[in-house]
Amino acid sequence: MASGRTSVNMRDHGGEGGSHDLLSKKAQKCIGRFFLENGIDLSAVNSPSFRQMLGVVSCRGDADQLRYKIPSFQDMNGWIFQEEWKEAEEYVKRIKDSWTITGCSLLLDTWVDMNGRELVTFIADCPEGPVYLESYDVSNIKCDMVALTLLIDEVVKKVGAENVIQIISCSVTGWVGELGEWFAGCSRGIFWSVSVSGCFELMLKEIGKLEVVTNVLDKVKNISKFIHSDPSILKLFRDHSCGKELIVLSKNDDVVMPYLALERILTTKKNLTTMFVSSDWKSMIWANKEEGLTVARLVEDSCFWNAAETVQECTIPVVDGLFLFAKAEEPQVGLIYDTMDRIKESMEKGLSHKKLSCKPFWDIIDEVWNTRIYTPLHGAGYYLNPFAFYATDFHLDPEVTAGLLASLVYMVKEEGIKIKILGQLDVYRLGKDYFFEASRIDKISGITPAEWWGRYADQHPELQSFAVKILSQTCEGASRFRLKRSVAEKVLASGGKSPPLHHFAFVHYNLHLRRSKTLRRIQ
């Protein structure tokens, strides 16, 4: 195919002339969006292999197909980019307009590139969706807390200090960890937390270091490894387990896989036991080899199964919590406090009949919770979540009360409004006036806590605004969006002096984030 004006076959259902031109333009824009959304250099549109690929895909031999021109680099970098830029700006503006009601969380995506540069990308997230703000190279200021704080202040100022409720990082190491400690030690009016998924993964890693857990997971690994070491053994297992598999895939493979494998081993306990006493197994050459004898003895060992059940009781609640927050589309601040309590209660209940202590597991969870996750915002979220507050098992401990009051002090600057909110909180606490009707289960079910306040608390606008802003926040960090960091690296490699690259990053990231939000809603 000739370069520059190569054409692609695409069917036109709207006739010739103007309709053809409109569809041709739409087709070209789709190609442009693909490049921009995936962070592909726009000049790649001139690649002969790319043009040949489109030609091969589109040529089906239909006589009534029309031929649409593949956009040139000038098209991609000209009108196509300008239209995408305009749409990205409109998307960002729509999101920003919602911040006055819901506020937003500032998410930090930090990493070290191949050249050793310390980089960070800022995202603002709210119920309407995430938006890309800016990327920075902090290599020269990573040891200067004052300079880093000024950088945060600059980003917050651009967003609007009144709009930023909290900052969420994905790490507690390096400069970002030190900055988090700095924020925790001073009253800045903005809460600092660490991504809840990363914290749950840390809990599982630390739990995995406990001797009883290590021993069980190693034995589970040995069983699974042996079953998959030979096709004949795997076939025998499948025959006895009605086709079940021992391997379970997960997006969090490194951390979660051992615990999911443990769960699967326990569900196939009867199948494994039956397999290793069957005549088919005894007739196999493996039945007389040391590896086979070791695994067979392990499967027959009741102490192993008891220990495996104990470990499962104390780890699967954490795994379930990780999946709950990783997959959650709605804001989680109103859920996390109660969820953590229920995880610990589940552990205690699971071990109570065995008269075993949960303390080693609880200590790990509490350490991560207290030092990395918890902020007053989470206590306030629990209190203001009507589903939790009006439930019969709601527990008002000092931490929750302190969190609610601290959030009020930090977030509300005007003393007159604080006083009004305190009075309105009494009405909410006692379930008086309209809250009496709104606290009914049918009024709470099927909507988010923030939506409940937006729908039923109009008579108490100050408390309503306060509650909506708290309950509209996420507990997840930027990692959930899987940003393509190479785009930011190119921008920052130019020293920030290349407007075209800045513009490309703005369009790319906001297209990606918009798409990510859409996909999460579908899943």
pLDDT for position 24: 67
Rounded to whole angstroms, the Cα distance separating 275 from 246 reads: 14
pLDDT for position 65: 42
Counting Cα atoms < 13 Å in the Cβ hemisphere of 364 gives: 20
Phi and psi dihedrals of 465, rounded to 5?
A: -60, -45
pLDDT for position 301: 94
Name which of 114, 151, 112, 147 is nearest 133 in CA terms: 151
Q: Give the length of the chain.
A: 523
The pLDDT tens digits for 90-149 are 999 999 999 999 999 999 999 999 999 999 999 999 999 999 999 999 999 999 999 999
Residues of the chain with pLDDT under 50: 1-15, 60-66, 521-523
Phi and psi dihedrals of 300, rounded to 5?
A: -85, -5
Tokens of 89: 């700006």
Are β-strands 191-194 and 7-10 bridged in parallel, bridged antiparallel, or unpaired?
unpaired
Task: Write the Ramachandran bin of 294: left for phi over 0, alpha for psi from -120 to 50, otherwise beta.
Answer: alpha
The pLDDT tens digits for 363-392 are 999 999 999 999 999 999 999 999 999 988
Q: Residue 114: what residue type?
A: M
pLDDT for position 19: 60
pLDDT for position 453: 95
Rounded to whole angstroms, the Cα distance separating 168 from 67 reads: 49
pLDDT for position 69: 73
Which residues are CB-neighbours of 522 under 8 A, at least 6 positions away?
none
pLDDT for position 160: 94
- Which pTM value belongs to this model? 0.85
Q: Where are the domains of the chain?
A: 7-84, 103-195+496-515
SS3 229: coil
Are β-strands 129-137 and 118-126 bridged in parallel, bridged antiparallel, or unpaired?
antiparallel
Largest CA distance in the chain: 84
pLDDT for position 130: 95
CATH class, range 103-195+496-515: alpha beta
Tokens of 162: 């009144």
Name which of 161, 182, 162, 179 is nearest 170 in CA terms: 179
Residue 420: Cβ within 10 Å count: 17
106 and 120 in contact (C-beta within 8 Å)?
A: no
